[in-house]
Homo-oligomer: A and B are copies of this chain.
Amino acid sequence: MSKITGLRCTSCKRVYSPDSGLFTCPVCGPYKGTLEVLYDYDAIGKKFNRKNWIVPELPGHYRYIKLLPFEDTKLIPPLWVGYTPLIKSEFFEKKYHIKGLYLKDDTREPTLSYKDRASSIAAIKAKEANANGIIVASTGNAASSMAGFGASIGMPVYVLAPRSIPEGKLLQLLLFNAKVILIDGNYDTSFDLSLKVAEKTGLYLRSTAVNPYLSEGKKTAAFEIAEQLEYNIPSYVFVPVGDGCIIESVYKGFKELKELGFIEKIPHMVGVQGEKSAPLLRAYENNTDEIEFIENPETVADSINVGVPRDGVKALKSVKESNGFFIGVSDEEILEAISELAKYTGIFTEPAAGAAFAGFKKAIKENRIPHDATCVILLTGNGLKDPRAIKRIAKKDVPIVAKDDLDSIVDLIRF
């Protein structure tokens, strides 16, 4: 595929051929040696401009096919993904005295999470490679998302998950016909096994960070934000950070648009972590590239409850290069943020997305964002994926009225 020129190691910068079949750098290993997909930006930049690089006839985020790692549109899965709403909230602009506030609503992806962006590309690459199936180690959104896309394209999806996986999540996987194998160990064990199984079986690997093409799916929110704001690039983008894949991918998306000359600046990337599951925040605060892992990370936001961030190196780089920052939020702040979003926008998010909004609120409170800034907050998943969250935040005082007591009802409404 001529538009891709190479796969570059994040750490040692060695560039490998896209035909090498490599997923990570053999020198730096699967943790530090995650790869980055490089395109022929010169050629693309010469051929296209802001308007004509988009192919609006293609559904969802495939409209950005010029910067996606496939050519054959016949590979596009039937399940539409991406090109989600960017919602301007005048209410929050007023409340927080900020010039621009936009919510990128990925609660409305096909399996209701941001991970669908990555899974859609994994599905395409697996089909392109004529794989017999896809393997993924995950306890959550990545697995159910991949299972959904496997169903959509008719390819078996094998999931390695810790034995402790919550029943609800397991059932969702089974519903999408995923072949689940429970491992008598933790997430890290499943993750390491997935690499070995992929090698032994030839199954296409969709575990987080170790497949460079996943980023290619996750970066498209940057393209959408740019297009939806008519290339008036926001000042800040708030992203919940666990493994760090989403923040580095969105940063890559903006960087590519700049490389092509379509935009002039890149937003400051703000990484939001749970304050007790914040290895990247710690490294950022200590001004080091050495990420210290956390053994027992804790946050109500499952999807970012990560002590060993698989894409930490890239994530840290994205925040630093863009002059952004990391910020930590408590469980209380996350739950309060979910409730506030629901109450004033009608969007019910999962806790990780609530964390992103909580990070914004905290940054405003701490005067880290100027009032003339425009902020975008990535809402990465739907709250109904884990309805237990509602129980923790909804108030429960509800009046009960006798069946013919019209007067009491009118009194309760009180005009």
Which A positions have Cβ atoms within 8 angstroms of B?
Answer: 59, 77-80, 85, 87-91, 105, 108-112, 132-133, 135, 147-152, 154, 158, 160, 163, 168, 170-172, 174-177, 179-185, 189, 193, 196-197, 200-203, 339, 342-348, 382-385, 387, 390-391, 393-396, 398-403, 406, 409-410, 412-413, 415
Q: A14 to B185, alpha carbons, bound, how many Å?
A: 71
**Copy total for this chain:** 2
Q: A291 to B399, alpha carbons, bound, how many Å?
A: 35
Hey, which chain B residues are within 8 Å of A88, CB to CB?
78
**Subset of 6 A-B contacts with CB under 8 Å:** A78-B89, A112-B382, A172-B394, A174-B394, A181-B409, A182-B399
Q: A198 to B8, alpha carbons, bound, how many Å?
A: 64
Q: A345 to B152, alpha carbons, bound, how many Å?
A: 4
Does B413 lie within 8 Å of A203, measured CB to CB?
yes
Q: A185 to B401, alpha carbons, bound, how many Å?
A: 9
Does A342 lie within 8 Å of B175, measured CB to CB?
yes
User: What is the minimal beta-carbon distance from A391 to any residue of chain B, in angstroms?
Assistant: 6
Hey, which chain B residues are within 8 Å of A177, CB to CB?
342-343
Does A80 lie within 8 Å of B85, measured CB to CB?
yes
Hey, which chain B residues are within 8 Å of A91, CB to CB?
154
Q: A325 to B80, alpha carbons, bound, how many Å?
A: 31
Q: A80-B85, A185-B403 are in contact. List 4 more A-B contacts (CB 8 A).
A: A171-B391, A175-B342, A181-B398, A181-B409
Q: A180 to B395, alpha carbons, bound, how many Å?
A: 11
Given A384-B384, A409-B160: A172 and B348 interface contact (C-beta under 8 Å) = yes
Hey, which chain B residues are within 8 Å of A87, CB to CB?
78-80
Closest 10 CB pairs of A and B: A185-B403, A148-B346, A152-B346, A151-B346, A80-B85, A174-B394, A171-B394, A384-B384, A177-B343, A171-B390
Does B345 lie within 8 Å of A400, measured CB to CB?
no
Q: A407 to B150, alpha carbons, bound, how many Å?
A: 24
Q: Which of B111, B151, B344, B383 contacts A343 (CB 8 A)?
A: B151
Given A203-B413, A387-B168: A174 and B398 interface contact (C-beta under 8 Å) = yes
Hey, which chain B residues are within 8 Å of A383, CB to CB?
175
Given A80-B85, A175-B393, A384-B382: A401 and B184 interface contact (C-beta under 8 Å) = yes
Q: A183 to B135, alpha carbons, bound, how many Å?
A: 51
Q: A193 to B402, alpha carbons, bound, how many Å?
A: 11
Does B347 lie within 8 Å of A163, measured CB to CB?
no
Does B80 lie within 8 Å of A415, measured CB to CB?
no
User: What is the minimal beta-carbon distance from A380 to any residue of chain B, in angstroms?
Assistant: 16
Does A339 lie within 8 Å of B175, measured CB to CB?
yes
Hey, which chain B residues are within 8 Å of A346, CB to CB?
77, 79, 110-111, 147-152, 176
Does A415 lie within 8 Å of B201, measured CB to CB?
yes
Hey, which chain B residues are within 8 Å of A175, CB to CB?
339, 342-343, 348, 383, 390, 393-394
User: What is the minimal beta-carbon distance from A407 to any residue of chain B, in angstroms?
Assistant: 9
Does B399 lie within 8 Å of A197, measured CB to CB?
no
- A145 to chain B: closest residue by CB: B346
Q: Which of B80, B172, B345, B400 contacts A390 (CB 8 A)?
A: B172
Given A175-B339, A182-B399: A158 and B413 interface contact (C-beta under 8 Å) = yes
User: What is the minimal beta-carbon distance from A315 to any residue of chain B, in angstroms?
Assistant: 28
Given A179-B413, A413-B203: A398 and B170 interface contact (C-beta under 8 Å) = yes
Q: A108 to B80, alpha carbons, bound, how many Å?
A: 10
Q: Which of B79, B174, B181 contacts A401 (CB 8 A)?
A: B181
Does A342 lie within 8 Å of B409, measured CB to CB?
no
Hey, which chain B residues are within 8 Å of A398, CB to CB?
170, 174, 180-182
Q: Which of B112, B182, B200, B345 contacts A79 (CB 8 A)?
A: B345
